[in-house]
């Protein structure tokens, strides 16, 4: 069995990367990475599936020991991606998707340089503003902050392996699936070449 | 006018990357980077076209000042890629190709992280050995050394933006041209998005 590959999917807030990921995991052998959190388990959630639940001390230890690929604090709770959980899935031949904002994405790439980085671009800034307005999570001031942040984020996109344009969801998901399939095929060839030497 | 893009084409010795590059520069707006050298100008060569000719002290100064993307010494002469020459071509909207062995390629990527890295894989190791034998430049001991080096080189290929398989030259060149065109198109979109903010 070939090792799976890690795909980091990133892009500005409102670019639709979450929806792309939801569609991707409907396909065979594509999984989202499971995050760790210090918040309490809620009804209907499963440890190791929804999240890995842990206490603050253990979480902080994992950060200090370089065992967290990235982490953030929301509402006083820690959330992060444990490196070992990702590596275990890869060892089992799974394709792992990590959906993450651009600043975190570049940090993860430093820790796992073999990760395939995919940046989701909006077709235009006015369209990005429309989407942020329509989802109605932020007020207009917060939306303009996110647009301003998008400037730095988009300027970083040439550092990614692939840049895809989310002008049409189905086309964008199709292009990403092609990247995943082609990466798997090449990974198999690389493994067979290395065995041949 | 959009800025051009830098493409680093690399791969094991004998993988056919040189031939791919020769075919690529037959296309509009694709140029090989011009190297600097300390060897003497030969009849029929042109300064700034064949090479930039320079003396050893100037060359060493450029290395120390971080002005050489990479360099090597052959037969007592220095050869290297001046960063400024590449940047000038990019500013003029040209697509620049840098054909370079894998160890140098990863160094250049650190200095120019926006470079698009393309790794050319052989279809099999036996085919790689055939090609090295057929071109007749190395004896069998040297060929086995190159095959052994290919192991590390191929293991580095997942760090590249794109991996292409040179099983058929025309197909391989076609795939690389698609990468160049698609990179240019995305670069234009990125520039227009950044202007819109």
Global pTM value: 0.80
Helices A169-196/B125-135 angle, 10° precision: 70
Determine the pLDDT at residue A111: 87
- pLDDT tens across B142-177, in order? 999 999 999 999 999 988 889 999 999 999 999 999
> How many other CB atoms sit within 10 Å of the CB of residue A143?
19
Mark yes or no for CB contact A194/B151 under 8 Å: yes
Decide if pLDDT at A1 tops 80.
Answer: no
Q: What angle do CA A73, A78, A81 make, to 5 degrees?
A: 105
Mark yes or no for CB contact B186/A197 under 8 Å: no
Determine the pLDDT at residue A13: 92
Decide if pLDDT at B64 tops 90.
Answer: yes
What element of type H or E holds B7? strand B6-10
Using a CB–CB cutoff of 8 Å, tell me whether B187 touches chain A: yes
Chain A nearest-CA distance from B154, in A, is: 7
Determine the pLDDT at residue B75: 84
B131 exposure class (CB count in 10 Å sphere: 0-12, 13-18, 19+): middle
Determine the pLDDT at residue B11: 95
> What helix, strand, coil percent values describe chain B, rounded to 5?
50, 20, 30
Mark yes or no for CB contact B194/A151 under 8 Å: yes
Q: Percent of chain B at pLDDT above 90? A: 74
Determine the pLDDT at residue B41: 93
> Would you place residue B132 in the very low, low, confident or very high pLDDT band (cuts 50, 70, 90)?
very high
Strands of B77-178, DSSP E: 77-82, 95-99, 116-121, 162-165
Using a CB–CB cutoff of 8 Å, tell me whether B165 touches chain A: yes
- pLDDT tens across A72-89, in order? 888 899 999 999 999 999
Q: Are B49 and B162 in contact (CB under 8 A)?
A: no
Average pLDDT, chain A: 92
Residue among A121, A186, A196 minimizing CB distance to B125: A196
- pLDDT tens across A103-115, in order? 889 889 888 888 9
Q: Are B126 and B140 in contact (CB under 8 A)?
A: no
* Secondary structure class of B50 (helix, strand, coil): coil
Query: What residues in B contact A116, CB-CB < 8 Å?
Result: 158
- pLDDT tens across B80-95, in order? 999 999 999 999 999 9
Determine the pLDDT at residue A144: 92
Helices B169-196/A125-135 angle, 10° precision: 70
- pLDDT tens across B101-115, in order? 898 898 898 888 889
φ/ψ (deg, to 5) at B128: -60, -45
Separation of alpha carbons A116 and A112, rounded Å:
9
Beta bridge partners of A81: A70
Residue among A5, A154, A196 minimizing CB distance to B190: A154
Chain A nearest-CA distance from B115, in A, is: 8
Determine the pLDDT at residue A104: 87
> How many other CB atoms sit within 10 Å of the CB of residue B34?
19
Separation of alpha carbons A9 and B20, rounded Å:
31
Q: Please name the residue of chain A whose CA is at the shortest distance from the CA of residue B118.
A: A161
> Would you place residue A197 in the very low, low, confident or very high pLDDT band (cuts 50, 70, 90)?
confident
What element of type H or E holds B9? strand B6-10
Determine the pLDDT at residue B135: 86
Determine the pLDDT at residue B3: 86
Determine the pLDDT at residue B137: 84
Query: What residues in A contact B154, CB-CB < 8 Å?
Result: 190, 193-194
Query: What residues in A contact B111, CB-CB < 8 Å?
Result: none
Decide if pLDDT at A135 tops 90.
Answer: no
Chain A nearest-CA distance from B37, in A, is: 30
Beta bridge partners of B31: B96
Determine the pLDDT at residue B8: 97
- pLDDT tens across A26-37, in order? 999 999 999 999
User: Which ipTM score applies to this complex?
Assistant: 0.73
Q: Are B82 and B98 in contact (CB under 8 A)?
A: no
Query: What residues in B contact A187, CB-CB < 8 Å?
Result: 158
Using a CB–CB cutoff of 8 Å, tell me whether B113 touches chain A: yes
Q: Are B94 and B57 in contact (CB under 8 A)?
A: no
Average pLDDT, chain B: 92
Q: Percent of chain A at pLDDT above 90? A: 74
Separation of alpha carbons A105 and A154, rounded Å:
13
Residues contacting residue B184 through CB under 8 Å, at least 6 positions apart = B2, B4, B5, B95
Using a CB–CB cutoff of 8 Å, tell me whether B155 touches chain A: yes
Decide if pLDDT at B22 tops 90.
Answer: yes
Determine the pLDDT at residue A138: 85
Residue among B150, B163, B196 minimizing CB distance to A186: B163
HEC assignment per residue over chain A:
CCCCCEEEEECCCCCCHHHHHHHHCCCCCEEECCCEECCCCCCCCCECCCEEECCHHHHHHHHHCCCEEEEEEECCEEEEEEHHHHHHHHHCCCEEEEECCHHHHHHHHHHCCCCEEEEEECCCHHHHHHHHHHHCCCCHHHHHHHHHHHHHHHHCHHHCCEEEECCCHHHHHHHHHHHHHHHHHHHHHHHHHHHHC
What element of type H or E holds B32? strand B30-32
Mark yes or no for CB contact B193/A121 under 8 Å: yes
- pLDDT tens across A160-178, in order? 889 999 999 999 999 999 9
Separation of alpha carbons A108 and A87, rounded Å:
13
């Amino acid at each position: 069995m070939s090792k799976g590959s890690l795909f980091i999917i990133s892009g500005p807030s409102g670019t639709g990367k979450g929806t792309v990921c939801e569609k991707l995991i409907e396909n065979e052998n594509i999984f989202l990475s499971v995050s760790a959190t210090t918040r309490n388990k809620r009804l209907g959630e499963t440890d190791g599936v929804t999240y890995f639940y842990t206490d603050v001390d253990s979480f902080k230890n994992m950060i200090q020991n370089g065992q967290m690929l990235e982490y953030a604090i929301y509402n006083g709770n820690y959330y992060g991606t444990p490196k070992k959980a990702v590596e275990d899935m890869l060892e089992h031949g799974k394709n792992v998707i990590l959906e993450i904002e651009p600043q975190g994405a570049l940090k993860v790439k430093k820790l796992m340089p073999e990760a395939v980085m995919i940046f989701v671009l909006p077709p235009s800034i006015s369209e990005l503003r429309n989407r942020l307005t329509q989802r109605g999570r932020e007020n207009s001031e917060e939306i303009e902050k996110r647009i301003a942040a998008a400037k730095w984020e988009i300027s970083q996109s040439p550092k990614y392996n692939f840049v895809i344009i989310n002008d049409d969801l189905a086309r964008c998901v199709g292009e990403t699936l092609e990247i995943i399939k082609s990466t798997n095929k090449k990974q198999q060839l690389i493994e067979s070449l290395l065995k041949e030497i």
